[in-house]
A = this chain, B = another copy of it.
Amino acid sequence: MNYFSSDFKLGILGGGQLGKMLLADTRKFDIQTFVLDPNDEAPSRFGCNNFYKGSLMDFDIVYQFGKLVDLLTIEIENVNLDALDKLEEEGLPIFPSPKTLRLIQNKGKQKDLYVQNDIPTSKHLRFVGLDDLRNSLAKDELEFPFVWKSAQFGYDGNGVKICRSALDLVKLPDVECIAEDLVPFKNELAVIVARSFSGEIKTYPVVEMEFHPEANQVEYVICPARIDEKVTQKAQEVALKVSETFNHVGLLAVEMFHSEDSEGNDIILVNEVAPRPHNSGHYSIEASYTSQFENHLRAILNLPLGNTDSKVAGIMVNLVGEEGFEGQVVYENIKKIMAIDGVTPHIYGKRETRPFRKMGHVTIVNENMNEARRIAEEVKNSIRVVSV
């Protein structure tokens, strides 16, 4: 198959920032792209060859969009899977496959899969709704504290709540959900695995994540993670096992907790996965030989995977909307941070900011990790996403 300056058409479901960064690589390779997104101000509306506005959850829209292209991928998991099933039946290559997406879309099924495949993960219970969960509490099958997660449609900390008492249940939506053990962890780690159609596999280095305590969004992603070689190796092994279980094509970002067992031994527990480019891999644009976006493309197009090693240490700082600001965005002090060596802002192209909205990120690269970490903090303390 000839993809480069050819008639080949790649369809992308979703036009957010992940799609936008993927488009940078389709432009580099001159691969034709069709993008579908419900928002006509979507970040990916520029940089693609054809942009379509429409719901990703609508069977007809997704199906008709799929009929326009030669291969379909996603940049968001929440898409109409029945349409994808039909398109796949009719012969359209779709990566990740609807089967993989179905397993991942539902956190209950995802967790069951880990248990079935001996993949270490925190204990969980599945519930059809809140009454079901309350019954379980009443019967002492479930105990506080636990982590409540909506089984479907959660993202960026939405659909997740730590429940310490019955009070925390009051505002929860009555939807299919899971309850997980609250794991005390030392670190949150992630490994992105690239797997091509032909089965070629490469893993990115283990990264370390620091979350914003309130918004439950990643604040810093640090590559490589500052952890023991033994833990690094274990995390890589677990990520590869998860990748094998899903048998995905494209990227699989595996989020993990680094914790310890009752005897003080290091353990790795899988938290959740995303079958696409992931926030934890944004550093790769500047730090890696091949960015996660390019490797997602390479994988789904069955091209050889690129080198996932890093040229230099990389740290990513998310740019999220400040609390108290809503309206047309201004990136305060962006000039100040751009004056620092190795600092690259990425602005996603959302005109309106609101509290905790992901508006962009900044990558800091440096030969020296300590220096990168120092600069990352300076960046974090300088730039503010506010409104005019």
Residues of chain B within 8 A of A343, CB atoms compared? 306
Cβ of A215 within 8 Å of any chain B Cβ, yes or no, is no
Question: How big is the A interface, by class?
Answer: 35 or more
Type the 1/0 row for A4-37, where 1 means its CB is closer than 8 Å to any CB of B. 1100000000000000100110011110000000
Looking at A89-97, A106-114, A129-137, A329-337, the stretch in contact with chain B turns out to be A329-337
Residues of chain B within 8 A of A367, CB atoms compared? 311
List CB contacts (< 8 Å) of A282-299 with chain B.
Answer: 289-290, 294, 298
A28 with B304: CB separation less than 8 A: no
Cβ of A172 within 8 Å of any chain B Cβ, yes or no, is no
Which residue of chain B lies nearest to A50 when distances are taken between CB atoms in the complex? B46
Q: Report which of B28, B347, B351 forms a contact with A24, defined as CB distance below 8 A.
A: B28
Type the 1/0 row for A336-376, where 1 means its CB is closer than 8 Å to any CB of B. 00110111111111110000000000000101000000000
B5 with A342: CB separation less than 8 A: no
A342 with B289: CB separation less than 8 A: yes
CB distance from A382 to the nearest CB of B (A): 13
Type the 1/0 row for A295-325, where 1 means its CB is closer than 8 Å to any CB of B. 0001000011011010110000000000000
CB distance from A163 to the nearest CB of B (A): 37
Residues of chain B within 8 A of A334, CB atoms compared? 4
Which residue of chain B lies nearest to A365 when distances are taken between CB atoms in the complex? B289
Residues of chain B within 8 A of A152, CB atoms compared? none
Cβ of A49 within 8 Å of any chain B Cβ, yes or no, is yes
Residues of chain B within 8 A of A116, CB atoms compared? none
Cβ of A72 within 8 Å of any chain B Cβ, yes or no, is no
B28 with A331: CB separation less than 8 A: no
**How many copies of this chain are found per oligomer?**
2
Residues of chain B within 8 A of A329, CB atoms compared? 4-5
B28 with A27: CB separation less than 8 A: no
CB distance from A202 to the nearest CB of B (A): 11
User: A5-B329, A5-B347 are contacts. A338–B303 as well, Cβ < 8 Å?
Assistant: yes
Residues of chain B within 8 A of A303, CB atoms compared? 335, 338
Residues of chain B within 8 A of A331, CB atoms compared? 2, 4-5
Q: Report which of B47, B289, B311, B335 forms a contact with A27, defined as CB distance below 8 A.
A: B47
Residues of chain B within 8 A of A298, CB atoms compared? 338
How far is it, in angstroms, between the C-alpha of A346 and the C-alpha of B28 when the chains are bound? Answer: 5
B311 with A347: CB separation less than 8 A: no
Which residue of chain B lies nearest to A349 when distances are taken between CB atoms in the complex? B30
Chain A contacts to B: CB under 8 angstroms = 2, 4-5, 20, 23-24, 27-30, 43, 46-49, 289-290, 294, 298, 303-304, 306-307, 309, 311-312, 329-331, 334-335, 338-339, 341-351, 365, 367
- Besides A30-B347, A303-B338, 10 new A-B residue pairs in contact (Cβ under 8 A), listed by A number: A2-B330, A5-B331, A5-B350, A20-B27, A29-B347, A46-B49, A289-B341, A290-B344, A298-B338, A311-B312
Going nearest first, the 7 A-B pairs with the smallest beta carbon separation are A304-B339, A30-B349, A30-B347, A307-B341, A311-B311, A4-B347, A304-B338
Sample of 19 A–B contacts (CB below 8 Å): A2-B330, A4-B331, A4-B347, A5-B329, A5-B349, A5-B350, A24-B24, A29-B345, A29-B347, A46-B47, A46-B48, A46-B49, A289-B342, A290-B344, A298-B338, A303-B338, A304-B335, A306-B344, A311-B311
